[in-house]
A and B are shown apart, each in its own frame.
Chain A
Amino acid sequence: MLLVAFAVLAVAAPSSSAASDCAGLPAATPCVLPIDRYGSDIDTTTLTHFAVEPSFTTTNSYPEVRDTGFVGVPISGVTSRTGGVIAAEHILRHPDVAGGTYYLPCKAAPTALPNMESPFGGEPYKAACENANDPSYFRSGPFGAGISKRAPQFPGEIRIPNATDTDACITTCEHSWANRTSAIAVEIYLKKTVGGRLVTDFDCVRPRFHASGFSHSLNGGLYGRGYGTIRPLCAYERGASRMQGYVFVQGQQHLEGNGRLVFSVFQNDATGRSSTGQPLQAFSSFQSAGGYYSTGVLYSGYYKLKIRDTATGKCVLKQHTHIKAMGERTDLHLDRKAFGIPGAREVAC
C-alpha cells in the first residue's frame, strides 16, 4: 500500500491526473475525491453548511430593494477542452433582517408544503431551486467542450428572476428574488469522463466569482459587470498552482481508505481573470485519499484552507495559505495540534 501511495505522489500527482482518474476505484485505493459543492454526484453530508432545521428567516423576511424584471450577470461562455458545469446561487441580505447576515434560499430547509409559508418555518420557495429539498444551487447547467460554450440554463447571462415555474412549485413560485437579491455567486467545474463516469476535472482550475452592483438597466432587467468568456487555467499553465501532501497518524502514513479528511479551499485574493478582465477566484472541495491529498489545480494566490477530520470531528483552519506554484507540499499530522500545519489553528466545525 505504501508503495502505491508513493507511486501516486511520485508519478500521478506531478502529472496531475490522479485526482480524478481514480474515481470509482475501491475505497482502499488511494485517490483524491473531488466534491462538487452541490452537484448531483456528491454526498451532501460532507458539506460544512447543511441546513437541517427550518429557519424562520425566509425569503419573505427580506424587503424588495428594487423594482426590476430580473437581475443578471452577462457571461458569453466557458472555453475548455472537456466541457463542464456552471452553477449559480443567489444571496439575500438586508441590514434589518437577521442582523444583516447572508441568507441563501437554496441552501435553506424547505417548508413542509412547497410554495407555501409555514408556521413551523422553512423556505417556502425552495421548490424554485434546482433541488427542492436538499441544499443546492439555484441553477446549474452543463456546457460542452470548445470555445465560449454556454449552458442551456444560462443563455448569454446568469439570470435570477422574480418568479419561477418548476414542477415542485406546483404553481408559479412568486419569490421576487430579483427584487431581493444582494449578490450572485457563480462557480464553474470542468468535467471529464473517466471509466464511463463523469467526474470533476482536477487538472484545471474551478473558477468562481461573486457578482453584485446590478446597475445597468437593459431589457427590463438590471445587470452587473460583464464577465465575457472564462477559460479555466489547467495544470502547469502560467499562474497555475497546486498544494498536496501526505497524511500521517502517529508518524505513519494514514492509508485507511478514502475520505477521512474533507477539505475546503477558497481563494482570498482573485488572481484569475475573465476575458473582460473581471477577477476570478479558484476553489476546491475534496476528500483525502488514504495517505495523500491534493487540492487540484488552483490559481496562484492566497487561500483559506479548512480541513475536517471526519473520524475525530476536529476542524483546522488556516486563514491565509499561500499556494503559489504547482509543487507546493504540506504534510498533515492528524495527531498534532492543528494537524501540524504552520500558522493554522483548530476551530469549531
Chain B
Amino acid sequence: MAVLAAFVSAPALAAGETTLVLSPAHAPVGGSVAVDLRSDCKLNYLNLTYARYDGATKTGTTLTDGTFDERLQKYRYLGRLTVPGDAAPGSATAFVQPYCGPPEEYPASADVPFTVDRSVLSLAVSPSVVTAGSGRTVSVTGGDCAGPVTSVPLLVRFPGGSSLSVSGTVRGRKVAASFALPSSVGAGTGTVSLARTDACPGSRAAGPASFRVRAAAASTASPSGTPSASVSPSVAPSSSESPSPPPSETPVASAPTRGGGRARSALIVGLAVLAVAAAAGGAALLRRRAPGA
C-alpha cells in the first residue's frame, strides 16, 4: 500500500521541468488570459514574444511569484498574462525562464503558441437623443482602438443624409471626439462610425453607434429656434427629402375662440329657420283671403 500511495502521490512533473499553460491561448491587446505555471523555482520570468507594428519582435517579461504545491512538489503560479499594448495582431509565443540557478539545472519551459487577437472597437454617443435645432454638442467615446495611432477619422451621418467628418483622439486605446448638431438637421436617426476600417490597425469595428434626433416641440419654439440660413459647409442637406415642418406656424391674429364660433353658427341657423317659418305662414294667409279661387 505504501508503494501504491507513493506512486499515486508522485509528482506529475519531473524534477527540473518547467511547464506553462495559457487558457485561452489567444487574447486581444489589453486582454488577459489565465496562466498555470509550474516550476522548481518560486520566481519565474514569464515571457511573451510578439511582433510589434513596426515589424520588430519584442519580448515582454513579467516576474511571477509562485506558491509551493506539496502534492505536485512544484512551485505553482496561477495568475493572468496581459497582452501588451504595442503587440500587433498575429502569432506570438510564451515561455518561462526560472529565476533560479544554476541555469543549466533550471531549464526554460517549452514555447507555448499564442495568438494576439484584434480588439473590438465599439463607439458610443452621448447624449443618444438630441433635439433638432438645439445645436447641442454630442460626445463620441469608444474603445478599444489598438495600434500606433493618435487620432482616428470618424464619420457622422445625420438624419436626412448629410454627413460630417470628425477627428477623434486616441489615448490609451480610448477614442474621444465631439461634434455640434447642425441646426439644419431634422428628426430621425444618425450614426457615428470609423471613416476607414483600417483606422485602428489592431482592432475591428463593432459597427456604427447611433443617435436619435427628435423634432423640436412647437410650443417650446423660440425665435432663435427658427431654421438658420447658414449651414456648415461640410453639412449638405439632401434635396430628395422634404424639409421638416417649421417649428411654428404663424398664428391668425383675429381668430376667435372655438366656443364663440359655435354660438354664431347656431344663431345663423336659428335665423334661417325663423325666416323659412315666416315665409310659410305668409303664403297660407294669402290663400285664405282669396275665396273665389
Contacts and interface: CB of A to CB of B under 8 A. Distances in A.
Contacts of A187: 101
B104 A49 contact: yes
A182 B97 CA distance: 9
A270 B99 contact: yes
Contacts of A101: 107-108
Contacts of A267: 100
A187 B15 CA distance: 23
B245 interface: no
B40 A95 contact: no
B26 to A, nearest CB: 18
B41 interface: yes
A283 B100 CA distance: 10
A319 B15 contact: yes
B61 A215 contact: yes
Contacts of B62: 213
Interface residues of A, number: 40
B95 A185 contact: no
A205 interface: no
A294 B253 CA distance: 113
A281 B41 CA distance: 11
Interface string A222-238: 00000000000000000
B68 interface: yes
B36 interface: no
B181 to A, nearest CB: 46
Given A100-B108, A302-B42, A212 B102 contact: no
Contacts of B104: 49, 102, 104, 107
B93 interface: yes
The listed residue with most A CB atoms (<10 A of its CB), out of B41, B43, B101, B107, is B101
A65 B57 contact: yes
B107 A208 contact: no
A212 B61 contact: yes
A125 interface: no
Given A100-B111, A210-B100, A302-B68, A270 B105 contact: no
A187 B56 CA distance: 32
Given A100-B111, A212-B47, A91 B103 contact: yes
B68 A283 contact: no
A21 B42 CA distance: 34
A295 to B, nearest CB: 16
Contacts of A102: 103-104, 107-108
The listed residue with most A CB atoms (<10 A of its CB), out of B61, B100, B111, is B100
Interface string B94-138: 010111111111011011000000000000000000000000000
Contact of A37 (B42, B43, B61, B102): B102
B33 to A, nearest CB: 19
A70 interface: no
Contact of A268 (B40, B97, B102, B107): B40
Interface string B73-106: 1010000000000000000010101111111110
B108 A268 contact: no
Interface in B22-72: 40-43, 45, 47, 56-63, 68
A213 B61 contact: yes
Interface string A45-73: 00011000000000000000111000000
B15 A279 contact: no
Contacts of A93: 97, 108
Given A65-B59, A268-B41, A279-B43, A319 B102 contact: no
Given A213-B62, A268-B42, 6 more contacts: A37-B102, A93-B108, A104-B104, A183-B97, A210-B101, A281-B100
Interface of B: 15, 40-43, 45, 47, 56-63, 68, 73, 75, 93, 95, 97-105, 107-108, 110-111
Closest 9 CB pairs of A and B: A213-B61, A269-B42, A95-B111, A212-B45, A210-B99, A270-B43, A91-B103, A102-B103, A49-B104
